Amino acid sequence: MAQRPTMNDVAAQAGVSQAVVSLVLSGAHAGRASAATAQRVRDAATTLGYRTNLQAKSLKTGVAEIIGLVGDEVATSPFSGMMIKGAQDRAWRDGHTLLTIDTGGDSELESAAVETMLSHQVRGIIYTAMYHREVTVPAPALDTRVVCLNARDLDGQVPSVTPDEVTGGYEATRVLLDAGHTRIAMINIHDVLPAARGRREGYERALAESGLAADPDLVYKGEGTQRSGFEAARHLMGLPVPPTAIFCGNDRTALGVYQGLAEIGLRVPDDVSIVGYDDQDILRDFFHPGLTTVQLPFAEMGDRAAALVLDADAPVQTHLIHCPVIHRHSVAPPKGQ
Amino acid sequence: MAQRPTMNDVAAQAGVSQAVVSLVLSGAHAGRASAATAQRVRDAATTLGYRTNLQAKSLKTGVAEIIGLVGDEVATSPFSGMMIKGAQDRAWRDGHTLLTIDTGGDSELESAAVETMLSHQVRGIIYTAMYHREVTVPAPALDTRVVCLNARDLDGQVPSVTPDEVTGGYEATRVLLDAGHTRIAMINIHDVLPAARGRREGYERALAESGLAADPDLVYKGEGTQRSGFEAARHLMGLPVPPTAIFCGNDRTALGVYQGLAEIGLRVPDDVSIVGYDDQDILRDFFHPGLTTVQLPFAEMGDRAAALVLDADAPVQTHLIHCPVIHRHSVAPPKGQ
């Protein structure tokens, strides 16, 4: 390992005192060193590869150019990494670096992660969940600015960024209504999740707006798995008056529905129209025909969370990010229309 | 935001001087403060929630309890997040925290990531690639300890941790040989990749060891995609003497092979035996019957890389991590045996 150049080395190279180097490199030399001297110092620093110690700087100013992201399994699981990408790109554009620590949900590790970030004087912490849920921000984190991402702060102390699940559920159902369907089922995911509650609320709102009563027989309590989608499809299509369209609480459910329908000889979208939710990259290729679905806007959510860390005046509220419908080929008018 | 307590506050609370607080909290008080005084200081610090400034500590000792991980798309893509998990768990067990920065392959962002980590006095940097490839470590990173992960350092300056692709390819082929196959095809992924070269070398070694010549007609240059697996299956099974078993360069290829075989009415493993590579979580459920494959040991690789950062005496070489065969249901003896 090469010896790193010191401020003394820069001073010697530039022919000035160490104090002048310090003034120039910290940007505090106005009126105390000539422009020519300042340039000589900067040239010397560049030549020697001298690195300003950001730590020393952050100790002095109390603010380092770092945004921390504490996640449960955001970086280590395949689902929601695009939130990191979005936050990182925003941090970078605004002159900051995003440092991520995943804790695997371990509370001891989470405490250590928060302490580490505080000790390194981060500008703020993005407290992030892999799937949309309600959280309590660890108290020590509140020593800095905190924004919850894909998570809603139960105590209402800090801004939260979440998908707008209600509008997403509404628009998914709207797509099916607009195609002419009136008997629209919903296969929900685990109904304790904010995502499940919101998507169902949107579904019911869209039906009500069209003057349709929500038929409890058409709402199937699924589990968000392919298997439960498979079983739900067979159950729903076996009803005395089966649905002509199904809004699936997630893409994985929709994949099971495709398989369940194929088993009983029904085609998508000729016999049954399907809309999903999530727009998971990794599943996309498995749908034939392509699935019309609602996208979780992970990159945009990450972007917003990083922007909120940097905007101290942002209101403490839940910032809802719109989930756009991605139109593919799983929706058609009901048969006979 | 509450005002954070200072060392002066702790001194006042404990009824001692600030110098004594500093000595006690830095662990340097032996012979200079009584045990009772030290306890009083620690109690006061706990009561007030005083936080030792790790930055100040690291400035003094030059070593912070942090390991940095600079990745291209490791945290933001679904493939290889388990490397982060493995490195994180090891770092944590050894009293360190893993800080991750993904750069998306952007060299400017990479430089900033390295500088940030150096300025925060990390213990070392794990320089990580999403897929196994050859890399040049950015020169400034060499100011600290660097370990390449899922990447081989082309300049041979630092330890590298990579999957043992050759042994993996060997054992995959061995499984098919042991089942009695003698006409074994290989569908490779892009052959410029170290993974492709290694897996093929292992395949040829296993054949040679069994006294079988590698038949060039049986080696198909694929692209690692489902589509190229699909096309390869149809091509190979159309040969005058088709193979009875196929080693696929990755799982995605194997998925295409399953589909290609189904199209021409052939069953796995009754008609053709298949072994894959990667053991990608997300694809696992799509194989019927379950795919026998070789696992990329991402968590173990991450663990090893973190351990190597902390072991300054570790040899500068490529540390190969064994890729275990995961036996499922896609291999059977050739027909008629």
Domain boundaries along the sequence of chain A: 7-52, 66-158, 165-297
- The pLDDT, as a whole number, for residue A263 is 94
Q: Which DSSP string do the residues of B296-312 spell out, in sequence order?
A: --HHHHHHHHHHHHH-T
**B77 within 8 A of B128, measured Cβ to Cβ:** no
**Shortest Cα distance from A196 to chain B (angstroms)?**
23
With cut-offs at 50, 70 and 90, classify the pLDDT of residue A58. Answer: very low
Q: Which residue has the tokens 């296969």?
A: A187
* Token pair belonging to B93: 């067990």
For A:199-238, CB contacts with B below 8 A are: 226
Q: Tell me the pLDDT band of B145, cut-offs 50, 70 and 90.
A: very high
Interface test with B, best of A1, A55, A67 (most B CBs within 10 A): A55
Q: Which of the two residues, A159 and A5, has the higher pLDDT score?
A: A159
CATH 3.40.50.2300 fits B66-158, yes or no: yes
**SS3 category, B205:** helix
pLDDT for the residue numbered B152: 96
Cβ atoms within 10 Å of B264's Cβ, excluding its own: 11
Residue scoring higher pLDDT (A294 or B110): A294
**Mean model confidence pLDDT for chain B:** 89
A133-192 pLDDT, tens digit per residue, is 999 999 999 999 999 999 999 999 999 999 999 999 999 999 999 999 999 999 999 988
Q: What mean pLDDT is predicted for residues B90-94?
A: 86
Has this prediction a pTM greater than 0.95? no
Asked whether A292 and A317 are in contact (CB, 8 A), the reply is no
A251-272 pLDDT, tens digit per residue, is: 999 999 999 999 999 999 999 9
DSSP assignment letter at A2: P
Report the relative pairing of strands A124-135 and A97-102 from DSSP bridges: unpaired
Which of B81 and A147 is assigned the larger pLDDT?
A: A147
Given CATH 1.10.260, say whether it is the number of domain A7-52. Answer: yes
B101 close to A (CB below 8 A)? yes
Pairing of strands B325-326, B292-295: antiparallel
Give pLDDT tens digits for B259-272: 999 999 999 999 99
The torsion region of residue A222 among left (phi > 0), alpha (psi -120 to 50) and beta comes to beta
Whether the pLDDT of residue B192 is over 90: the answer is no
Q: CA-based diameter of chain A, in Å?
A: 92
Q: What is the pLDDT of residue B34?
A: 77
B1, with CB counted inside 10 A (0-12, 13-18, 19+), is exposed
With 70 as the cut, is the pLDDT of residue B73 above it? yes
Q: Which has the closest alpha carbon to A92: B67, B84, B103, B140? A: B103
Does residue A304 have a pLDDT over 60? yes
Give the mean pLDDT of B180-188.
Answer: 98
What's the CATH code, domain B165-297?
Answer: 3.40.50.2300
Q: A4 pLDDT band (50/70/90 cuts)?
A: low
pLDDT at B62: 43
Share of chain B above pLDDT 70, in %: 91
Residue B290, number of CB atoms within 10 A of its CB: 14
pLDDT score of B55:
42
Length of chain B: 337
> Is A116 in contact with B102 (Cβ distance < 8 A)?
no
Sign of CA dihedral A140, A143, A147, A152: positive
A116/B97 Cβ within 8 A: yes
Q: How far apart are CA B253 and CA A79, in angstroms?
A: 22
Contacts of residue A88 in chain B, CB cutoff 8 Å?
76, 101-102, 104
Contact A101/B101, CB-based, under 8 Å?
A: no
On the question of a common fold for B66-158 and B165-297, the answer reads: yes
Q: Given this model, what pLDDT does residue B19 score?
A: 74
User: Closest residue of B to A78, CA-based?
Assistant: B78
Q: Do B79 and A84 touch (CB under 8 A)?
A: no
Residues in chain A: 337
In total, the C-beta contacts within 8 angstroms joining chain A to chain B are: 133
- pLDDT bin (cut points 50, 70, 90) of residue B28 is low
State pLDDT tens for residues A213-238.
889 999 999 999 999 999 999 999 99
Q: Which residues of A318-332 are buried (b: 16+ CB within 10 A; e: fewer)?
A: ebbbebebeebebbb
Cα–Cα nearest to B129, from B92, B77, B180, B190: B77
User: pLDDT confidence of B31, banded at 50, 70, 90?
Assistant: low
What number of H helices and E strands is found in chain B? 11, 12
Interatomic CA distance for residues B26 and B53, integer angstroms: 10
Asked whether the predicted pLDDT for residue B191 surpasses 90, the reply is no
